[in-house]
Structure 1
Amino acid sequence: MRAEPFIPDPLPPLDIDWIRHIPLIGSANAALARFDGLLRSIQNPDLLLTPLITQEAVISSRIEGTQATMRDLLIFEAGKSAVSNEKRQDIREVMNYQKALSHAQEQMMTGHLSWDLILSLHEILLDGVRGSSFGGSVRSIQNYIGPIGAPIEKATYIPPPPDLLPEMIHNWEDYLLGPEKDVLVQLAVLKGQFEIIHPFCDGNGRIGRMIVPLFLMEKNLLSYPSFYISAYFDRTREEYYNRLLHISQSGDLNGWISYFLYAIRDQAFINITRSSQIVALYDEMKNIIPQVIRSQYSIAVIDTLFQRPIVSSSDFIEISQIPPESGKRILLKLRDAGIIEIIQEGKGRNPSIYQFAKLVQIVENETSL
């Protein structure tokens, strides 16, 4: 017997167990406030948090099946071709995620989170990759979630039919713009309802995770849209999917809300630790690098390494805007001092590729710290 599409109740939900969630609401909001306090203390978050935003793009894309790592992406950007067309496609998906986040950040500085913005993010996300023909548009077909290649009869979840989507999206956006007793619970509901509606043919999970930092910025809980939640969902992937599925299977919205509040709280502490490590490393380099290179270009050197922790010699010179001969001498001094290491020797017209290993190690560390 074929399963039927699930039709969720309209928002706002009427069965939130507020008493149950009070302890987690308090601890999650407190952890998030501490993280935002750190963000406000960072003078140049666009620079220092770029590697973490890159890793968020990598992990969120990995949840959906891509195999590209942060190292793959950085080496590709440094000029080394991906080993296969499949890997190149995966890297393109991650790069699109980065572009979408950058576009969102720019738009949020003067505008607001809205369905129109979400559609523009979706278009950027799917540009030139799988599902690109559906980019920026709500689905007009019935989709479903299930084993790869399985028919709809074997689906684990069938979202609402496309003719109901306009009304559901309008209801979702009304709830987005309206008040709720607690912003984090409101975000949990929005995230869960978005996944249930499944408004796109592809990219629903990535867009849904992208909404998290944007909504927190919209509601003034973050001063910068840089809450990296995908790592928690990836570490607890089975529970992540099960909690979402139980909303439709047994109406357990409160179980999802609890899980989401845990995610915010625990990931906030990890984000604090990792961001603090990056800031401390930057301060360390401000003391060390001027002594090593003895150059007027010290700040340009440091900023370039934090912007591109894996970089080719030619890109290093272009990004830092240091004269070529000076740039080459500086790279040699940094390498001799052990600050950077060469991971690919230059050959012919291909420049050498260097790695700022300390920063890469901080960002690639996906443990709970």
Structure 2
Amino acid sequence: MAETFYPEKLPLKDIDWVSHIPLIGRSNAALAKYEGIVQGILNPEILLSPFITEEAILSSRIEGTVTTLEEILASESYSGKEMSDARKADIQEVKNYLKAIRSAETELKDKPLYMPAIKSLHRTLPEGVRGRNKEPGVVRSWQNWIGPYGCSMNEAAYVPPPPALVWEYLNNWEDYMDSTEKDPIVQIAVLKGQFELIHPFSDGNGRIGRMLIPLLMYRNNLISRPFFYISGYFDKNRDEYYSCLPGLSKNNDWDRWIEFFLRAVEYQANQYSGKAQKIIALYSVMKSEIPQLLNSKYSVQAIDAIFSRPIFTPKDFSQDTKIPYDSGLKIIRKLEEESFISLRKEGRGQTPSVYEFSELIEITKSHNQIRQDVNDFSRG
């Protein structure tokens, strides 16, 4: 019979800080390098928007949602008739995650990262998809558990604290978030792990827990914009991820989780630094060459549009750039002729043609800059 787990209150008393010193140094240095690159970007919302999409896909993939970067980028341009209902639902889950991430930055300008803001994020995740009937945005008032689909509580792999204690744990979680710890990245690792142990929502705890990582970094001034995502490392090392988190309840093995988290931050920071530099270089080339090619007052709008939406229809392009449709179509054809973009899908009848900015998509998808083998035991 599975026993209810009562997490240790924060702060933790037995972290082996000495053993973590090398990784603390490397993860902070890697994150600082990435932040330096981001601060040098005049329009990070445009250039780094593919990172947000990639995070939404990878975080949702950990929960069993199957879709691709191209499908998400193209989903607003295609009619969707060729997709199954299951695939449409997977895409909608990722879109909900994107919506929640983007709304979070806006909300945090005026609100602290306490439970009201977190509940607002959680409310967005299940809109129109699975979990919509599981009290979205509401801290649970009943006992939940984690295990194979359809299992009873007695068969569960993990039973979080009872609902009567959830708010006590969440208040302690918020107090620790407001405290000063020896290292802020380790503090975020602990906050992420403890959030999973509390399991405050009926569903979606894993996705919210991963979403909290860049928001906590942003809150703690480790990054100037919440554009740092970690699910790529978790997804690449899913077995270790699913092993480390349960270890918190089974063995109280916080040091293993902290080590894994520090490696994840170092890896992803290096990955994103490399990708961001490639995207910046590509953007610089485009800003140098396209104005000469187009000889148009709309050149900058055209460049920004294909960076922010690298799979698009002529109508999308016109709406994003505010360029008249016919003028936008001429620009698209010129960009295609010069191989800046390519035709992804030929239009037929009322169905428009779809174009793509393949070079940007390939940079975003790239995972070969660093090879380091290394994802939420919480599937809820």
- Distance across 2 between alignment mates of 1:39 and 1:339: 25
- Distance across 1 between alignment mates of 2:50 and 2:185: 26
- Distance across 2 between alignment mates of 1:312 and 1:246: 48
What are the within-5 Å matches in structure 2 for residues 350-369 of structure 1? 350-369=351-370
Structure with bigger helix share is: 1
Partner in structure 1 of residue 104 of structure 2: 104
TM-score under structure 1 length normalisation = 0.97
Partner in structure 2 of residue 248 of structure 1: 249
- Distance across 1 between alignment mates of 2:325 and 2:247: 59
Equivalent pair of 2:274/2:369 in contact (CA under 8 Å): no
Partner in structure 1 of residue 127 of structure 2: 127
Which residue identity lines up with residue 88 of structure 2 in the other structure? R
Question: How far did 1:368 drift?
Answer: 4.6
Equivalent pair of 2:104/2:121 in contact (CA under 8 Å): yes
- Distance across 2 between alignment mates of 1:56 and 1:367: 17
- Distance across 2 between alignment mates of 1:52 and 1:155: 35
Equivalent pair of 2:147/2:156 in contact (CA under 8 Å): yes
What are the within-5 Å matches in structure 2 for residues 3-82 of structure 1? 3-81=2-80
Deviations 1:292-338 (A, max 9, x none): 32222110110000010000111111111111221111111111111
Partner in structure 2 of residue 304 of structure 1: 305
Structure 1 unaligned residues grouped into runs of 5+: none
The count of corresponding residues between Structure 1 and Structure 2 is 368
SS of 2:65's equivalent in the other structure is coil
- Distance across 1 between alignment mates of 2:196 and 2:46: 32
Question: How far did 1:288 drift?
Answer: 2.0
What are the within-5 Å matches in structure 2 for residues 176-191 of structure 1? 176-191=177-192
- Distance across 2 between alignment mates of 1:239 and 1:367: 20
TM-score under structure 2 length normalisation = 0.94
- Distance across 1 between alignment mates of 2:218 and 2:332: 38
SS of 1:53's equivalent in the other structure is helix
- Distance across 2 between alignment mates of 1:41 and 1:80: 38
Please say which of residues 278-287 and 155-164 is displaced more in the overlay.
155-164
- Distance across 2 between alignment mates of 1:318 and 1:19: 55
SS of 1:343's equivalent in the other structure is strand
Partner in structure 2 of residue 145 of structure 1: 146
Deviations 1:232-289 (A, max 9, x none): 1000111011111111111111111111111111111001001111111111111221
- Distance across 1 between alignment mates of 2:219 and 2:110: 11
SS of 2:351's equivalent in the other structure is coil
- Distance across 1 between alignment mates of 2:42 and 2:93: 30
Partner in structure 1 of residue 160 of structure 2: 159
SS of 1:132's equivalent in the other structure is coil
- Distance across 2 between alignment mates of 1:310 and 1:99: 18
- Distance across 2 between alignment mates of 1:205 and 1:26: 27
- Distance across 1 between alignment mates of 2:170 and 2:312: 43
Partner in structure 2 of residue 136 of structure 1: 137
SS of 2:109's equivalent in the other structure is helix
Which residue identity lines up with residue 111 of structure 2 in the other structure? G
What are the within-5 Å matches in structure 2 for residues 304-323 of structure 1? 304-323=305-324
Question: What RMSD in Å do the two structures reach over aligned CA positions?
Answer: 1.2
Deviations 1:10-31 (A, max 9, x none): 1111111111111111111111
What are the within-5 Å matches in structure 2 for residues 168-183 of structure 1? 168-183=169-184
Question: How far did 1:112 drift?
Answer: 2.3
Equivalent pair of 2:218/2:226 in contact (CA under 8 Å): yes
Partner in structure 1 of residue 84 of structure 2: 84
Which residue identity lines up with residue 55 of structure 1 in the other structure? E
SS of 1:77's equivalent in the other structure is coil
Please say which of residues 322-331 and 217-226 is displaced more in the overlay.
322-331
- Distance across 1 between alignment mates of 2:231 and 2:210: 7
SS of 1:139's equivalent in the other structure is coil
Deviations 1:214-249 (A, max 9, x none): 111111110010111010100011101111111111
